[in-house]
Structures are given as C-alpha cells and as structure tokens.
Amino acid sequence: MASLFTEDFVRSIERLRIMARQVPASGRHAQHRSRDLGAGMEFRDFRSYVPGDDLRRIDWSLYRRSGRLFLRLFEEPEDLPVYILVDISDSMFFEVPPRADAGRQMAGVLAAVSLNQFDRIRLYPFGTDLVQPAVSLSGKRRLRHALEFLDGLLPAGSTDLVKSIRRFATLRLRSGLAVVVSDFFDSQGIEAVVAALASLRHRLLVVQLVRDSDARPPVNGELRLIDCESGVEVDVTVMDRELDCYAQAYRAFNERLAGFLLRRRAAHLRLNAERPVLDQLSDLFAGGVLVT
C-alpha cells in the first residue's frame, strides 16, 4: 500500500458513504437514486400511458377502476460521476507537514468511498494547469490504483487555481459531483476563484485545506518575505496593527468563499492539514455519511 495510505487508513474509511441529493441521469446502476423514473425497484409515481410505452409497466388494477391506462414508475439507482481536482501546486508541498499530504489523503478518502459505491471517479491533479490525462477508474478493485496514483503525485508548478478550474469547466463530462481540494489561495484573489467555481455546472464539494497559523501568522518585527513559488522577496515590518489587518483580510476571504458555497448549496469541508485526516472524518462524515 502507498505510504500515505496504510492498510489501517483504508480499513477506517470502508464504511463511509456519499449521499447525493440529486444524481444525474443516464449512468450505470449504483447505490444512489436518480431523478430518472424508469423500471427500477422502488415505486415512485404514475403517469398516463402514451403509445410506444412498455405494456408490462401498465397498472391493470388501476385501469379496471378508472378505465384509463397508467404506467407505474420506479426510482432508478444510478451511479454518480465524481471528479476529484487535487491541488498539487508547489506551495502545497512547502510546509511541514505539507498541505499536499492532507489533500491527497482526503482525495483518497473520497475516491475510496465513491469506488465502494460503484461510482466512477476521475482524478484531476493541477498546479499551473490540469495535469493530463486524467485518471478514470471504477470498481472497488481499482482503489489501490487510485491511492498509488495520488501518493506518487509531485509538485506541478506555481498555483493557477482559476485557470485549472476554468479548464476543467470546458471539459465535456456527464454532470456529476466536482470535488476541489485546495487551500484556495490564488494570486488573482478570492473573487476570481469564486467566479471560476461558479462556472462549474456540476454539484460542488469544496475541501479547504487550512492551518492554525493561517488566521494569524506567528511573526513580528522586520522581516523578509519570500514567495515559495516565484521566489519574489518583499521586506516588511510586521507589528500588531499589520497582523490585525491581515486577520481581517483572512476573515473576509473565508466569508466570501463560504457565502458563495452556501448560496450554491455546495458542501464545504474545512480540513486542518496539521491534524491526522482520520481524526477529522467523524466530524466531516456525520454518522458515516457526507450529504452533497
């Protein structure tokens, strides 16, 4: 098993489930429920017969009572396409422990849950751009392949979250669940990030990777700040006033992201990259289920 994904780790996530409020039609049979009404197992509704309908689905007892032909409709179990976008830009590997570790582990959790439910997944690492081609997998037996792929990912250049999301939005994919795993820091700012997320036509699950120091870095005095991706250096003086301004800007950043996701009715998970991922799953998956 890959180094990030021990046997104990995999066993701990076997019973987790993703429950979709809506499942796109035209997929394979799986453990979700589709809005399509067809010839499944669970009765849902009636509709009037029209020429060409399957005569085997006519409710003849209702016909005897009403003199009209109606079809019995059933809820179809369908698969949920799950597209997992994982930020592996250079900055994600910079800290100790790196956010990339928590991000890849969480991507592995969601991949395992989806594959165990017979959903098809596609993994899209990104840095400066989407790393192509995407890895497409289905079936429980492909979990090891997914985890080994995630474990082997290397830094993929400077961060361009906006470009990567917009590139993904142009792909002709069946409507499904888009998972974006990142810290959502981008040089273009949170407004550009939100606009890119808004361009996605899929249901949305955001996994925001955070650290305790994000809210208020433990720094003060005369400092030289070096961008870990570009190498650009800036000399600054950091005192309480500057830290207060930074904390206010960080709160505004989080409020803008959370507000958009609330209006979009998207799932939003905050994952602390400094804590073991497994220790946080009980909070993220209430009762073992994540509703998207």
Q: How many domains does the chain have?
A: 2
pLDDT value at 247 more than 80: yes
Please give the pLDDT value at position 40.
44
Residue 184 included in any domain = yes
Q: What are the pLDDT digits (tens) for 22-34?
A: 444 444 444 444 4
Average pLDDT rounded to a whole number, residues 279-286: 78
Quick one: what percent of the chain has pLDDT higher than 90?
42
Please give the pLDDT value at position 49.
67
Are 260 and 157 within one domain? Answer: yes
Are 102 and 126 within one domain? Answer: yes
CATH number of the domain residue 119 falls in: 3.40.50.410
Residue 136 included in any domain = yes
Instruction: Provide the domain limits for residue 203.
Output: 7-23+79-291
b vs e for 228-264, b when ≥16 Cβ sit within 10 Å of the residue's Cβ?
Answer: bbeeeeeeeeeeeeeeeebeeeeeebbebbeebbeeb
Are 84 and 70 within one domain? Answer: no
Are 163 and 176 within one domain? Answer: yes
Are 209 and 181 within one domain? Answer: yes
Please give the pLDDT value at position 22.
47
Are 129 and 54 within one domain? Answer: no
Are 123 and 206 within one domain? Answer: yes
| Torsional sign, CA 278, 282, 285, 289 | positive
Residue 273 included in any domain = yes
Q: What are the pLDDT digits (tens) for 61-113?
A: 777 788 788 777 654 445 678 999 999 999 999 888 999 999 999 999 999 88
Q: What is the pTM of this model?
A: 0.77
